[in-house]
Amino acid sequence: MISILIRNKNEANSLINALLSIKKQKFDLPYEIVIIDDASTDNSIEVANEFGCKVVKLDKKFTYGYALNFGLKHCQYEIVLLLSSHNILLSSDSFENFVHYFSDPSVAAVRCIPISNTKQILQSVKSDLTINKNNYVHEKDWQNLIVANCSAIRKSVAIEIPFNETIRSNEEKLWSLEVMEKGYSLKSNVSCYFLYNRKNNYKVDIRDHISKYQVDGIIPLKTSRFIWIFFKSIPWALKIAWDRWYQTNHLNWEFSRISRKFEKGKYN
């Protein structure tokens, strides 16, 4: 039995695809879909109702951590899949895998893999990762900690150790560190794959690095290093710009010549 918890604000078009991918799961046990909606003004609520979701409106100002803590109170099952409305589940047996992994009482969370991450996919082909306090290496494993856009967690652990409600982002990674300190383990890079269909945003990257620095104090890029990279990259940027310009125009030129060089129906 699984609860799927989705935080949503004006994401009706993406939400449809996420919900359709949930419906394609091969799973015989009961499950529920809980939408925590942050004052959407589009037709997100109508979409959620069409799919039989439980819709709960956020009762105060949104933060990532608070939305998770609030949403968990409305989930009835012990296994909770944290899913983004921008994600599409690609593995039809994800729910079955979650049940299998959580049969180990020491496992607090299970992280799935975005298909854009080749390194983690290759790791999953060999075996999944078990991360705990004893084997965690920050430089290597930070990227393997859970993500709130597609990870399953144990509800009782999240009630015992709630998500931080003030940090800008990375609330799930901070939570991962805290639960490992309590003796729990995480399963990462398991053979459950998803598509993250939202475009990258540099402001989001900055926000995530701010919260990471607040967690571990590791400076993402020193000013002196930035200056060196900036001047070093100027020739590289000019070369890329020239190559891109040349390739685009060369391709268009060749396209324009096809009708003059070749004739329909003749293949020699």
Look at residue 200 in the predicted model and tell me its pLDDT: 66
CB 196 within 8 A of CB 149: yes
C-alpha 264: how far from chain center? 48
Residue 128 pLDDT class (50, 70, 90 cuts): confident
Look at residue 122 in the predicted model and tell me its pLDDT: 82
Mean pLDDT computed over 127-154: 92
CB 5 within 8 A of CB 68: yes
- Cα–Cα distance measured from residue 30 to residue 27, given in angstroms and rounded to the nearest whole number: 8
Mean pLDDT computed over 102-111: 95
> In this predicted structure, which of 117-126, 143-152, 168-177 has the lowest mean pLDDT?
117-126
Of residues 8 and 126, the one with the higher pLDDT is: 8
Burial class (CB in 10 A: 0-12, 13-18, 19+), 123: middle
Residue 199 pLDDT class (50, 70, 90 cuts): low
Helix/strand/coil for 78 = coil
Look at residue 196 in the predicted model and tell me its pLDDT: 82
Mean pLDDT computed over 233-261: 94
Mean pLDDT computed over 120-127: 82
Look at residue 142 in the predicted model and tell me its pLDDT: 93
C-alpha 162: how far from chain center? 20
Sequence-separated (6 or more) residues with CB below 8 Å from residue 124: 113, 189, 190, 191
Mean pLDDT, the chain, as a whole number? 91
Mean pLDDT computed over 142-167: 94
Residue with tokens 């597609």: 150
pTM assigned to the model: 0.84
Mean pLDDT computed over 248-256: 95
Look at residue 103 in the predicted model and tell me its pLDDT: 93
